[in-house]
Amino acid sequence: MKQEYTITVYTENHIGLLNRIAIMFSRRKINIESLNTSPSEIEGIHRFTILINETEEVVRKISRQIEKQVDVLKVYYNTNDEIIWQELALYKVPTDEITEKVKVERLLREFGARAVVIRKDYTIFEATGQREETDKLITVLSEFGLIEFVRSGRVAIIKSSKGFHDKLKEFELTIPSEEAIENELIGPQTEIFIV
């Protein structure tokens, strides 16, 4: 049964790695719904957040393949309830609609949208939130003449994670300590992290 999975990939900051990871999805005809790259809490370590809609088996297999790549440190995959996530959206509306129709103003306050820029002919709003919220705002605003819309990729933090610092120290050792090995291959994946 397909559902949304967020794949978090910790990597070295090397050029060309984005391509290496992206082709692994296209090879298996998996659509990347969103992809975000960002620095992580550790200098020199990058973090990819990839959103796909697939079955658990497909996600598990592709995560293992991604982890095999030389510049990839670790890969985690989570369903929506295991993460805290946000997406950002920008909406461009005609300014006269905003000034004339009080309803629009109330709507925007309801969604926690804030005005980024106000010009004579257009206003740009920004809204952050879950997919349904930002989507709903589009349908609402298009009634009043939505000129342009764009949504960012998903950024997510895994609820039970402890950051990557300790894991990195482990990887820098030539011989990892005994308890540090987690073998997700065997048994059900009950806990997300075993440090």
185 binds other proteins (CB under 8 A): yes
Interface residue with other proteins, options 2, 3, 27, 160 (CB under 8 A): 27
110 binds other proteins (CB under 8 A): no
Interface residue with other proteins, options 4, 33, 56, 67 (CB under 8 A): 67
72 binds other proteins (CB under 8 A): yes
Nearby residues of 160 by Cβ (< 8 Å), 6 or more positions away: 82, 191, 192, 193
Identify which of residues 61 and 109 has a Cβ nearer to other proteins in the complex: 61
Query: What angle do helix axes 56-68 and 17-27 make, rounded to 10 degrees?
Result: 150
165 binds other proteins (CB under 8 A): no
**Alpha-carbon radius of gyration of the chain:** 20
171 binds other proteins (CB under 8 A): yes
Q: Which span sits near other proteins by CB under 8 A: 20-28, 76-84, 119-127, 147-155?
A: 20-28
175 binds other proteins (CB under 8 A): yes
**CA distance linking residue 179 with residue 159, whole number of Å:** 22
Closest CA relative to residue 195, chosen from 107, 184, 185: 184
What is the binding site for other proteins (CB under 8 A)?
11-12, 16, 19-20, 23, 27, 60-61, 64-65, 67-68, 70-73, 168, 171-178, 181, 183, 185-186
